[in-house]
């Protein structure tokens, strides 16, 4: 049974003149790591708002279709209730701070305080989340004095602390440096190995291709691609929707046209990795 089950989802914001999500259907199984790609305004954030029941509870536009999370219809569960099943990391970490916590430790504990978790249990889970995200040394710092990359990790720790089975991340690498991006994806891989279901939107195809099991591409609110990551990377559809012009996808295309492409092994995340990988293979 899928943990996320979307059927014919269509949504339009009240003030917008076009549809944000257009008849989308998809199922995501437990433990899958799914990458959502698409150009700006493709509907990625709207899809995430629908998964977390922000749509239709907080954004009340015209909605049709069904979204079921762990077999519960999102129209029938509040945002707070859905939050115990899905942890959501939004694009801008600064706007996700609670605004009432004076240290990183308190910020991470905020959701647990709201859920009424006992203090000892709260401390254990907070320290664990800080350790997973590698920010234990920031625990006593004020969140308002951290860099964008550090804040992104605080927000990720705040999402992990509630131990929800599904983790949804909307372009979480925006404020991270190259080292931070790799660290984030490594953390996500560990979480996937630990059994979490992860849905992530990102523009960095090289990471998406290497780390995720499956890619779903959105364009103008429609689902235009859905399949195993290694196959999707060389799909001509990526060119059509304006995502195929990265150095990485061009290398993948070139590798395919020269008979060097192997679907068993993804290309590396850097050109050097890719060339060494291809050399090893041939």
Report the interface residues with another protein, using CB under 8 A: 49, 52, 54, 58, 79-80, 83-84, 88, 90, 92, 94-103, 105-106, 109-119, 122-123, 126, 140, 142, 144-145, 158
Residue placing its CB nearer to another protein in the complex, 82 or 274: 82
Comparing CA positions, the residue from 69, 7, 79 lying closest to residue 197 is 69
List the beta bridge partners of residue 87.
Answer: 167
Nearest approach, Cβ of residue 130 and another protein (Å): 12
Is omega for the bond preceding 52 within 30 degrees of 0, making it cis? no
| Minimum separation from the CB atom of position 174 to another protein (A) | 14
Please, what is the minimum distance in Å from the beta carbon of residue 55 to another protein? 10
Pairing mode, strands 214-219 and 72-73 = unpaired
Task: Identify which of residues 118 and 179 has a Cβ nearer to another protein in the complex.
Answer: 118
Specify the 3-state DSSP secondary structure of 97.
Answer: coil
Q: Distance between CA 201 and CA 50 in Å, rounded?
A: 14
Choice between 73 and 81, CB closer to another protein: 81
Q: Which is nearer to another protein, 107 or 206 (CB)?
A: 107
- State the minimum distance, in angstroms, from the CB of residue 57 to another protein: 8
- Residues pairing with 214 in the sheet: 34, 228
Output DSSP code: residue 263.
S
CA distance 172 to 162: 18
Cβ proximity to another protein, 88 vs 175, nearer residue = 88
CB atoms under 10 Å from CB of 231, counted, come to: 13
State the nearest-atom distance from the C-beta of 114 to another protein, in Å.
4
d(CA 168, CA 248): 25
């Amino acid at each position: 049974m899928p943990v996320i089950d979307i059927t014919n989802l269509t949504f339009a914001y009240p003030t917008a003149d076009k549809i944000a999500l257009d008849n989308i259907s998809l199922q995501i199984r437990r433990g899958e790591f799914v990458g959502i790609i698409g150009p700006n305004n493709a509907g990625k954030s709207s899809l995430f708002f629908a998964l977390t029941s922000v749509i239709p509870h907080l954004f009340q536009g015209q909605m049709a279709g069904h979204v079921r999370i762990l077999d519960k219809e999102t129209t029938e569960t509040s945002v707070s209730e859905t939050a115990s099943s899905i942890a959501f990391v939004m694009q801008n970490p600064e706007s996700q701070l609670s605004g009432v916590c004076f240290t990183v430790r308190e910020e991470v504990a905020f959701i647990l305080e709201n859920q009424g978790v006992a203090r000892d249990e709260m401390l254990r889970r907070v320290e664990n989340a800080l350790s997973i995200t590698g920010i234990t040394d920031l625990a006593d710092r004020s969140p308002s004095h951290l860099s964008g990359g550090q804040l992104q990790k605080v927000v990720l720790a705040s999402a992990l602390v509630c131990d929800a089975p599904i983790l949804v991340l909307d372009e979480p690498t925006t404020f991270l440096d190259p080292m931070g991006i790799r660290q984030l994806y490594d953390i996500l891989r560990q979480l996937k190995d630990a059994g979490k279901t992860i849905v992530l939107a990102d523009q960095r195809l090289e990471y998406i291709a290497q780390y995720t099991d499956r890619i779903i591409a959105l364009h103008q609110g429609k689902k235009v691609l859905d399949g195993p990551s290694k196959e999707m990377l060389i799909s001509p559809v990526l060119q059509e929707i304006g995502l195929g012009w990265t150095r990485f996808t061009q290398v993948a295309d070139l590798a395919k046209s020269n008979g060097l492409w192997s679907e068993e092994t993804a290309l590396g995340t850097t050109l050097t990795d890719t060339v060494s990988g291809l050399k090893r293979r041939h």
